[in-house]
Amino acid sequence: MGRPELPVDETVRERALLAKALRRIRRKARLSYDELAAKTGLSAATLKRAASGKTVPSEDTVKTIATACGQDPEILHWYWRDARIADRGRLAQLRKPALPQFINGRRELSAALEYFYEDAGAPPLRRLTELAGGAHLLPVSSAARIVSRQALPASRQQMIAFLTACGHPGHLMGLWGDAFEEITRGSDVGRMPSVIDGSYVPYEQGGRPVRVALQYMPPVVERRGDRRMVTPPEGWLISSTELERRGATRLLSTEGWPVGTIEVIGNSIS
């Protein structure tokens, strides 16, 4: 009978969760470390270290173990991502980017790209290139300069390839591509679409739906040197109570509207 496995190192919670998940799928597959080593081609020592909680194994190692244990590697990916983020500690030091419509200049765009890279778990650069679709879309050297804020992508296509590699939501790709083109070519035309005045924002107050009248205008974008200066959108709420104002303000802020630009101008609800 083999020696009992050491307890998972709990120093970093996310690393511990990954280690426990790896142990769980191995036990479910009823494989010893030696048997798992034979199936994966990895050494038993490497497998034990991956499930120790003391370090974050490579994503390839995690996927190999998952496949050998008959599990979907994608399930383990999120454990790996969270463990990698916690282990690096860099993401916590970065500010979450604004919506692409509000990115001002090269510096903010570069910072946004670093955030997306760290939020993806900061995969090795060669892996990032693979996820982007190949070196013809995102060379390793270009990826290195982008994640270190030394350069922006060379083209809109490379920008999209980088975001794809970072797992960024597809429905925002076009907006980020537009932001890249405006910033790099110096266009001073704003992209935020106008919204019809007098629309209504629905939300719940004490179990009953409340409609709050809303009027706002798109932001104004002007160019000063190499920076796009964005004047935030102006918004006005017509609400009958402070509670309703707070609720609508909260809802709008989740959509990217700066809370400071929302102002109550009436005391009735249509």
- Statement: residue 93 has pLDDT above 60: yes
* pLDDT tens digits, one per residue of 80-91: 999 999 999 999
* pLDDT tens digits, one per residue of 184-243: 986 433 433 323 233 333 434 444 444 444 444 444 555 555 555 555 444 444 444 554
pTM above 0.75, yes or no: no
- C-alpha 79 chain-centroid distance: 15
Distances (CA, A) of 200 to 131, 208, 248: 41, 15, 10
- Statement: residue 153 has pLDDT above 80: yes
How far, in Å, CA of 107 to CA of 104, rounded? 8
Residue 29, judged by CB atoms within 10 A of its CB (0-12, 13-18, 19+), counts as: middle
According to CATH, what is the number of the domain 13-88? 1.10.260.40
Chain length of the chain: 270
Closest CA to 14 of 92, 73, 129, 95: 92
Mean confidence (pLDDT) of the chain: 78
Using CA atoms of 115, 116, 120, 126 in order, give the dihedral in degrees to the nearest 10. -100
Write down the pLDDT at residue 233.
Answer: 47
* pLDDT tens digits, one per residue of 34-63: 999 999 999 999 999 999 999 999 999 999
Domain spans of the chain, in order of start: 13-88, 92-185, 199-266
